[in-house]
Amino acid sequence: MPLILVHTERFAEHQTPPGHPERSERAEVMDVVAERWRERGAEIVAPREATHEQLARVHDAAHLRRIAETAGQALALDADTYTSPESYDIARLAAGAVVDAVERVMESRSHTAFALVRPPGHHAERDRAMGFCLYNNVAVAAAHARALGAGRVAVVDYDVHHGNGTQHIFEADPAVLYVSTHQYPYYPGTGAATEIGSGAGAGFTVNLPLEAGAVDEDYRTVFDRVVLPVLRQFKPDLLLVSAGFDAHERDPLGGMRVTTPAFGAMTRELRSVAEECCHGRIVAVTEGGYDLQALGASLDAAVSALAPSPPPLPWPSTTIASTRGRDAADAARRAIAPFWALG
Ligand SMILES: [Zn+2]
């Protein structure tokens, strides 16, 4: 089965002011990673634009109209979120890329796919752009998978920021499980362990708020004690990954100490769960990552975890003692105890 990298050099045109971390060089890093995997036999697919119907499953009409009106204009939508004249087209391509990746995986043309996209998506709410994000790409993907017949979809988000948009869009929906590891307290302010979903969706939002400074072992602890056992009980028909690399120790925005090999290990663990639960169906989509060297290396490690014959990708071991992972796992387990059997 080919590995599918959905990307386009046009993502470079979603630009923000010089000096801003969300700059076009990030798209060039993605192009270098994609080219390296093309040489190793990966299939590279150029995306088509998401349709209005696909976007409207997770965004309201006023938001879609507002983003469409930015076409051809350079605007500030909030303190962090700018558009260039090209952003509307590029954002529709980014959302379309994850739609395409989901279709290929759900139709078993490939079991794994990685969508390399700009702009990111997980902060975008149903009704507004936020935190560099115009459309919530991973939410569009989850809704599309449901429309294609997936009964249960899991989203795991290891970006250093909490995916407020993804959580809110699905918080009352028991068919979409949202699990996030993130720095807390931190931007965007959401993601406490006690946020567990609402109504019929209670228990289907799982937050692992990690204190700044968390290391690889902390992530391993929360994966072993919460993320992986909850996924195995939920038994998704498709696993989606919000793959942000801003928890990396080199990242200028995030305050975590995660190393490059840990991104390979986390992604490999998620693929293993997908192989147990859903015939290996897993789609990863890029989110943040603001140190270019760390982004390139971590993205490469994550892509390798979804390759046809992945290397072992073990968890790295550091010698730094930290209780951040245990604390986050304990808080999450207390909050979700009524819903999941975690021993
Ligand atoms: Zn982020």
Cα(227) to centroid(ligand 1), Å: 19
Cα(241) to centroid(ligand 1), Å: 13
Cα(130) to centroid(ligand 1), Å: 12
Active site residues: 123
* 8 Å CB contact between 168 and 121: no
Going by DSSP bridges, is the β-strand pair 282-286/112-115 parallel, antiparallel, or unpaired? parallel
- Checking if the pLDDT of 49 tops 50, the result is yes
pLDDT in tens, 108-123: 878 999 999 888 999 9
How high is the pLDDT of residue 162? 98
Mean pLDDT (whole number) for 302-330: 94
- Checking if the pLDDT of 305 tops 60, the result is yes
How high is the pLDDT of residue 13? 47
- As a whole number of Å, the end-to-end CA separation of the chain is 37
* 8 Å CB contact between 297 and 260: yes
Question: Average pLDDT, whole number, for the chain?
Answer: 92
Q: Considering only residues 301 and 78, tell me which one the structure prediction assigns the higher pLDDT.
A: 301
Mean pLDDT (whole number) for 292-321: 93
Cα(335) to centroid(ligand 1), Å: 24
- Checking if the pLDDT of 3 tops 70, the result is no
Cα(320) to centroid(ligand 1), Å: 24
- Checking if the pLDDT of 23 tops 60, the result is no
Give residue 76's pLDDT band: very low, low, confident or very high (50, 70, 90): confident
Cα(107) to centroid(ligand 1), Å: 30
* 8 Å CB contact between 219 and 325: yes
Distance of alpha carbon 9 from alpha carbon 28, whole angstroms: 7
- Checking if the pLDDT of 18 tops 50, the result is no
pLDDT in tens, 318-340: 788 899 999 999 999 999 999 99
pLDDT in tens, 183-203: 999 999 999 999 999 999 999
Cα(35) to centroid(ligand 1), Å: 24
- Checking if the pLDDT of 26 tops 80, the result is no
pLDDT in tens, 165-185: 999 999 999 999 999 999 999
Q: Considering only residues 296 and 11, tell me which one the structure prediction assigns the higher pLDDT.
A: 296
* 8 Å CB contact between 30 and 54: no
Cα(108) to centroid(ligand 1), Å: 30
Cα(343) to centroid(ligand 1), Å: 31
How high is the pLDDT of residue 14? 52
How high is the pLDDT of residue 2? 54
The DSSP result for 176-187, as a single string, is EEEEEEEESS-T
Structure letter (DSSP) for residue 290: -
pLDDT in tens, 245-279: 999 999 999 999 999 999 999 999 999 999 999 99
- Checking if the pLDDT of 160 tops 50, the result is yes
Percent of the chain with pLDDT over 70: 94
- Checking if the pLDDT of 10 tops 70, the result is no
- Checking if the pLDDT of 22 tops 60, the result is no
For helices 87-106 and 61-68, give the axis angle rounded to 10 degrees.
130
Cα(328) to centroid(ligand 1), Å: 19
Mean pLDDT (whole number) for 72-88: 85
How high is the pLDDT of residue 338? 98
**Which tokens hold the place of 84?**
């260039």
Q: Dihedral (C-alpha) 16, 19, 24, 29: value to the nearest 10 degrees?
A: -150
Give residue 5's pLDDT band: very low, low, confident or very high (50, 70, 90): confident
Structure letter (DSSP) for residue 69: T
Q: Name the phi and psi angles at 226, rounded to 5.
A: -135, -60
Cα(243) to centroid(ligand 1), Å: 9
